[in-house]
Homo-oligomer: A and B are copies of this chain.
Amino acid sequence: MKEHIVISKATIDRLPVYFRILRSVQDEGVEIISSEDIGRRIGITPEQIRKDLASFGEFGKKGVGYYVRDLIRNIGEILGLHHDWNIAIVGMGHLGWALANYRNFGSLGFNLAAMFDVDPDKVGRTINGVEVYHIECLQQISMEKDIQIGVIAVPAAQAQAAADALVAAGVRGIWNFAPIRLNVPEDVRLVSEDLSIGLSSISYYLTRSTKK
C-alpha cells in the first residue's frame, strides 16, 4: 500500500461500487475482468477505475486484466469489511426497521447487534434474534455488546443526544440519517445521509428540463 499518497474521498466512495459489481460478476462465473468491462457495467471510465485501484497497489496484470476473486479480496481488505463490525440502530421508526431488515449489510460483513427505541411497545421485540432495548440503556448495552458503529434513525431533535450517548459508549463510527448537523469528537467518523438532497435535486433539474 502506498501510504504516502493521499487517497481522495471520491476514490473511497467508489470502492464499494467496485466491490459490489465484482461480486456480481463473480456470481456470473467471470474470473478475469478488464477495467473497460467494469467501467461499462457501472458507468465509470476505465481510467478512473485503474487510477483508483492503483493508489492501493498493483492488483492487475498488464495485458490481462484483474483476477476477480483476488480483487474482491483486496478491496474488501482495503474497506475493512473483514472486521465484522458490530452495529447498533438507534430509533426503530419505519427507517430504523427498514435498515434493520436490509440484507446487504450482512453480506458486507456488518453484524447488527442491538437496536434502541423509547417506545415500550417496541422494546423487547426482535429481528433475527436481535433485540430492541430501551434507549435509556443505550450506553450500557453498547459497551456490553462492543458496538463500533451506531446508526442514528431518530428524529432530528433527539439525534445529538443519541450521538453523545454512542460516543460515550466508545462508538467511533456514526451513520446519521437525521436531517441535522451532529457534533462529534474529531476521532469519530461521521457520515450523514441527507435524503432531501436527492429528491430536491430531481425537482431542480425537472423544473428546468420541462421548461424547454
- Please give, as numbers and ranges, the residues of chain B lying within 8 Å of A95 by CB-CB distance: 98, 102
CB-CB nearest in chain B for A153:
B98
Q: Are A104 and B202 in contact (CB under 8 A)?
A: no
Which of B15, B98, B201 lies in contact with A200, CB distance below 8 A?
B15
**1/0 contact trace for A10-23 toward B, CB 8 Å?**
00110111011000
CB-CB nearest in chain B for A104:
B196
Output the residue of A9, A17, A199 with the most chain B CB within 10 A: A199
A166 to chain B, nearest CB (A): 12
CB within 8 Å for A195 and B193 given contacts A97-B98, A204-B80: yes
- Please give, as numbers and ranges, the residues of chain B lying within 8 Å of A195 by CB-CB distance: 102, 104, 193
Interfacial residues, chain A to chain B (CB-CB below 8 A): 9, 12-13, 15-17, 19-20, 41-43, 78-81, 83, 85, 93-95, 97-98, 100-102, 104-105, 108, 110, 148-149, 172-175, 179, 181, 187, 189, 191, 193-210
